[in-house]
A and B are shown apart, each in its own frame.
Chain A
Amino acid sequence: MPGEAGERTMSAIKQVAVFALLSAMAATAAAQVELRDARGRSSTWTTPPARIVSMVPSITEGLCALGACAKLVGTDRYSNWPESVKALPKLGGLDDAQVERIVGLKPDVVLAAPSARAVGRLEALGIRVLVLEAKTHADVERSLTTLARLVGQPAEATLLWAAIQRDLKAATARVPAALRGQRVYFEIASAPYGAGAASFIGETLAQMGLGNALPPELGPFPKLNPEYVVRVQPDIVMATRRAVDEMPRRPGWDRLRALQMQHSCGFDAERYDMLVRPGPRLGEAAQTLADCLIAIDERDRRAQQDNGAKAPTR
């Protein structure tokens, strides 16, 4: 009975079709991602964005650390790591973003920090904007998780964060015993602004078992009276190479014991960028701090040995 056979075939085809349709729907449902950004706004992503513009250096770094660097089509003018992003179009800063160029790049999403006027303008032009905040370690973890889910690699964030934590622990273990608990003054701008205990740099220092010369009630990045630093007499001073070299010339700062004893870390521009960016290189930053602390400790020991060697001759 050819008719019956035909009908059976037809129904089989229908079944297959229905099954395929259902599984396709299930697949899209699984791929569909619901994200909540720093403004508390939620957005739904059916497919991972293929073209991304990042307007924040730490977010650029985060995206690249998650292995999605190739999706970047443009960044802000400050993004400079990893090396490959330097070749991308530079679209201004957050506050003077070049709207036309960004739109011209046809990004599927623009990643930005809060409080940027450009965000409103871009959204009015029909571009999706995801606002991410990175002020604390917890923010960094949250941003990385959001980014990883956005690019469809949710597992990557967990791995990356675990690696950061591993680096942090390793760095902590490398801090010389003699320097544990010493109070650090970390200068972020020569006005001077220091990194307080409430900042992410302060968090890193605390995790590494170091103290902070600035109490938490001063807030994350307080502008200080230069006299305050002299009075507080931090045990270790950290800043850019240039700032550290220039510090003894500030009135009264030649009396800083940390500077006299060379308990200072002057970082070159590249390393300093890494230290002051709340991004995926947090762990590496901690390792850099540990390197400097080890160097200080070695200098101290050598000085002690010299003194010890000199003592009998006297």
Chain B
Amino acid sequence: MEREAAAQRRRLGGFLALLALLLGVAGLAAGSDGWSWRVLLDPDAALIVGQIRAPRTVGAWLTGALLALAGAVAQGLFRNPLADPYLLGSAAGASLGVVIVLAAAALGGHAIGLATADTLSRFGLVSAAFIGALGGVMLTLALAAGAQQTTRLLLAGVVVGVVLGACSDMLTTLAPEALQGKQTFMLGTTGFLGWDSVVVLGGGLLATLPLAWRLARALDALTLGEDTARTLGLPLARLRAALVTVLALATGVAVSQAGLVAFVGLVSPHLVRRFAPGPQGWMLLASAATGGALLLGADVLARSLIAPQELPVGVLTAVLGGGYLLWLLHRRGVR
């Protein structure tokens, strides 16, 4: 039984690696003129493929991996299959950060001073989203008085999400010019990922994945229930704080570069659980690889389906991941 499960895991691992490779190649070929290999021989290949498609491809995989890692951590931490990376106020915080920067230009001279508006616009959307995401989670932690109680943490996350969401809605009411930028951010976009984004995303994954791996044993203990975990002598509050940090960092880095890409974080751990369940350490790694493949696949489709136009990548992740999950559920129900 255990040997069969291990073989299953190996198969999924191999499949995900192969998928990443194939999609990576597809990512270099899919572009604004649909599928074409000719551009690789073009004199502009260095620019179009080297500076645009390659970082976008790598960046999409990394973003998906970060979100799925955060999703797996969230689902393990809260022992709830509905948990996703945006649970603890990070999404609302990041949107608020983005809206503040977008609205700054519009509100300049009216509600706020021109100098402030200028500083805010210089600050940039990326850093605003990152700081907003971390700020949202910190606010949640403060409201929940630390990570002592899971329910309290969840509730605080919901409240922070609602309140910060209301704040950004109010700002867009005062500065409707910010609406379109906000919508783009909320849909998620992989179109602006460059090598600098890849460095940030890669750094984020390098920082969070080993930490999550080290915390995986605590997550394993948590699956047995909090009381059992406590009797095993685990410092639950500290571990939970560390897990929330991983969650916030991974989510913050991902959304700062690509916006609130939907569903990858929620659906990836489910897919792994369905095909090759295993200990939490495996879950974290395999979820990350699944998320990477899912978002990269969605990105390749987003570029090529209606080329030269583009679909919002968040719409495709929801359709792909959600549709697949529904199909799985349906099949399981029929059996």
Query: What residues make up the interface of A, taking CB atoms closer than 8 Å to B?
Result: 89-90, 92-101, 103-104, 106, 114-118, 120-121, 124-126, 189, 193, 198, 219-221, 223
Contacts and interface: CB of A to CB of B under 8 A. Distances in A.
A49 to B, nearest CB: 18
Contacts of B104: 115
Contact of B51 (A89, A95, A125): A125
Contacts of B111: 219
Contact of A114 (B53, B105, B309): B105
Interface stretch (B17-25, B148-156, B191-199, B264-272): B191-199
A100 B52 contact: yes
Given A124-B194, A193-B176, A117 B48 contact: no
Given A95-B180, A100-B48, A114 B121 contact: yes
Given A98-B191, A121-B194, A103 B48 contact: yes
Contact of A95 (B101, B121, B181): B181
B228 interface: no
Nearest to B172: A223
Interface string B166-190: 0000000110100011011000010
Interface string B119-146: 0010011000000000000000000000
B310 A96 contact: yes
B101 A125 contact: no
Given A93-B180, A104-B48, A124-B194, 15 more contacts: A95-B180, A95-B183, A96-B184, A99-B52, A100-B48, A100-B191, A101-B32, A101-B308, A114-B121, A115-B101, A116-B181, A117-B192, A120-B192, A124-B196, A219-B110
Contacts, number: 77
Contacts of B183: 95
A104 B32 contact: yes
Given A97-B191, A98-B191, A99-B191, A223 B181 contact: no
A115 B310 contact: no
Given A114-B121, A193-B176, A103 B105 contact: no
Given A115-B181, A193-B176, A98 B32 contact: yes
Contacts of A125: 47, 51-52, 194
B278 interface: no
15 contacts: A95-B180, A98-B191, A101-B32, A101-B308, A103-B47, A104-B32, A114-B121, A117-B125, A117-B192, A120-B124, A120-B192, A125-B47, A125-B52, A219-B110, A221-B176
Nearest to B183: A95
Nearest to B49: A100
A115 B102 contact: yes
B44 interface: yes
Contacts of A118: 192
Contacts of A89: 308
B174 to A, nearest CB: 8
B189 A96 contact: yes
A101 B312 CA distance: 16
Contacts of B194: 121, 124-125
Q: Interface SS of chain B: helix, strand, loop or mixed?
A: helix
B53 A100 contact: yes
A96 B191 contact: yes
A100 B176 contact: no
Interface residues of B, number: 35
A103 B310 CA distance: 15
A94 B184 CA distance: 10
Interface in B47-74: 47-48, 51-53
A106 B111 CA distance: 40
Given A104-B44, A104-B48, A96 B121 contact: no
B297 interface: no
A99 B192 contact: yes
Contact of B184 (A90, A95, A223): A95
B252 interface: no
B312 A96 contact: yes
Contacts of B31: 100
A179 B33 CA distance: 55
A223 B31 CA distance: 40
A220 B176 CA distance: 11
A128 B282 CA distance: 47
Contacts of B184: 93, 95-96
A264 B99 CA distance: 35
Contact of B173 (A90, A106, A117, A223): A223
B176 A223 contact: yes
A92 B310 contact: yes
A221 B189 CA distance: 28
Of A101, A117, A124, A220, most buried by chain B (CB within 10 Å of CB) is A117
A103 B52 contact: yes
Interface string B95-126: 00000011011000011000000000100110
Contacts of B52: 99-100, 103, 125
Nearest to A95: B184
Contacts of A90: 309
A4 B47 CA distance: 57
Of A100, A101, A125, A193, most buried by chain B (CB within 10 Å of CB) is A100
Contacts of A106: 44
B35 to A, nearest CB: 14
A219 B176 CA distance: 12
A106 B47 CA distance: 11
A29 B280 CA distance: 68
Contacts of A220: 110
Contacts of B174: 219, 223
Contacts of A92: 309-310
Contacts of B44: 104, 106
Nearest to A219: B110
A99 B105 CA distance: 23
Nearest to B122: A39
